[in-house]
Amino acid sequence: MLIRIGSGAGFSGDRLEPALLLAEKGNLDYLVLECLAERTIALAHKRKKENSSLGYDPLLEKRMELLLPTLIQNGVRLITNMGAANPVSGAEKVIEIAQRLGLSIKVAAVTGDDVLAFLDTDALSMETNKPLHSYGPILSANAYLGVEAILPALEKEADIILTGRVADPSLFLAPMVHHFGWSVDDADLIAQGTIIGHLLECGGQIAGGYYADPGKKDVPHLENLGFPYAEVQADGSALITKVPNTGGVINLMTAKEQLLYEVTNPNEYITPDVIADFTSVKLREAGSDRIEVTGGKGKKRPETLKVSVGYHAGFIGEGEISYAGSNAWGRAQLAGDVMRTRLEKRFDELRIDYIGVSSTHRNTFGQWNEPYEVRLRVAVKTCSLSEAAKIGEEVESLYTNGPAGGGGARKYTQEVLGIVSSLLPREEIELSVVIKESVLHEEKTV
C-alpha cells in the first residue's frame, strides 16, 4: 500500500541527471520537480508578456526530452510546477515533445493561481503593511494553491501534471492524498504529508547539498549527489532515502537542517492545506542513508491564501574591477573612495563592496589578513536604465583615472523585480484543469 515519491529538482536551474536516475532506478510511483520561486514566476510572467506562447520554465523542454521515455516506460507519473506563468502552453510543448519521441501521453495543465486580473491593489502587503499599489507597477500576482488544485488532474490519470504557483509541499502531498484516499480535513494526516513534502522539496539538500562544510560536515562524492525519495505509508509515516551508490549522505543532521529550512515558526508552518506543527516530528536513523519520519500534528487549513506579487522595482547598474599584488587592499579602497565621492550625491541607493573582504557580511568581524587581491564592486539602484548604465562606465574609467593596476573591469545592468506578499480569500480562486493528449489531440476543461 506504500507509495514512492521522488524529488528530482529543488529549483529551476537544478541538475537534470539526478531526476533521470530516480526515474530509472528509484522504483517510483511519482516524480516531483519543484522548480518555482517567487522571483522565478515573476520573471516567467515577463517572458509571457513578451511572447504569449512562453512563460513556462526555460528548462521544460530539456527536462521533458530527457525524462519522458523513462517515465512512460517505468510508469512513473510526473508532477511539476514548471508550468510557471503558462501551464497550458507548457502542456502543449510537452505534447509536442512526446509526439516527436513517438510517445502516447496525457498531460494536465492546472490553472487558477494567476489572480492578477482581480487583485485588490489597495490590499496591504504582509511585509510592510503598505498598500500593494505603493510599490510600483505590478507585473504578476500568483496565489499559492494546495492539493485541491492537483487532485482533479490525478483523478483524470494524467501522466504529466504541470502547475503554476502551488505550495512546494503540496506537490508531494497531492499524490499521497490521491493514493491513500486521505480526507483533506484530516489535519494530522495532511500535516504529516506536508512534513514529508517539506523534507523532499529542495531536492539534493537533504542528501548533503547546501549542508557540506569540509572538515566539519563532510559529504562523500558530492559531485554525484543522489536526490531523495520517500516511501510513504498510509498512516503518514515515511522512510526517506536515495538510490544506492550515489553520492551524498542522508542522516539525522541533514534531515534536521532541511526540516527547519525556511521555517520561521515551527509550531505553525502555514500552507494552503494545513497549519503544521513541526515540533512533534520524530526522526530516526533506520540504516545507512535511511531516515524514518513519524509524528506531525496539524490544525485546520487557513481561510486565506498567500499571494506572491511581483512588481517593477527599477534597475541596478553595476561595475567591477580587480586590484592584485602588493597593497591591493589599499588601492581597492582608494578606488572605492573615488567612486563614492563621484556618485553618492547623484544616487540615493549606492553600494560599494570589496569582494573577498566585506561583500557578503560587510564586516571583517575583527579577523583580518591583508588580501593579495581584491575586487571592487560598485552598484546603484535607480528608476532609469540609462542612469544605471552610468555606473559601469564610471568604474571602467578607473583603468586610467584611478589607482595603479586595475584590471578585469566589467559592467552590466539589469531590471529589478520586487516581490511582496498579500492574502486572498480562497473562495475567490477559480481552479481548472486542461487535459491534452498526444494521440487524440483532445482538449477538455474540468
Question: Which pLDDT tens digit goes with each residue over 42-77?
Answer: 999 999 999 999 999 999 999 999 999 999 999 999
Joined grid coordinates for residue 251: 542522516
Q: Tell me if 289 sits within 8 A of 389, measured CB to CB.
A: no
Closest CA to 56 of 14, 107, 90: 90
Write the single-letter amino acid at 299: K
| pLDDT, mean of residues 236-248 | 97
Is the pLDDT at 444 greater than 80? The verdict is no
pLDDT of residue 66: 98
pLDDT confidence tier of residue 364, bands split at 50, 70 and 90: low
Interatomic CA distance for residues 377 and 439, integer angstroms:
55
Q: Tell me if 5 sits within 8 A of 80, measured CB to CB.
A: no
DSSP code per residue over 39-65: HHHHHHHHHHHH-TT--S-TTHHHHHH
Write the single-letter amino acid at 131: P
pLDDT confidence tier of residue 282, bands split at 50, 70 and 90: very high
Q: What is the pLDDT of residues 366-408, one digit of tens each?
A: 666 788 999 999 999 999 999 999 999 999 999 999 999 999 9
Joined grid coordinates for residue 170: 503540496
pLDDT of residue 439: 76
pLDDT of residue 441: 45
Joined grid coordinates for residue 302: 487557513
Q: Tell me if 419 sits within 8 A of 344, measured CB to CB.
A: no
Is the pLDDT at 440 greater than 50? The verdict is no
Interatomic CA distance for residues 364 and 354, integer angstroms:
11
Residues contacting residue 9 through CB under 8 Å, at least 6 positions apart: 15, 19, 33, 34, 35, 63, 80, 203
- Residue 279, phi then psi, degrees to nearest 5: -70, -15
Name the β-bridge partners of 98. none
Q: What is the pLDDT of residues 155-186, one digit of tens each?
A: 999 999 999 999 999 999 999 999 999 999 99
pLDDT confidence tier of residue 100, bands split at 50, 70 and 90: very high
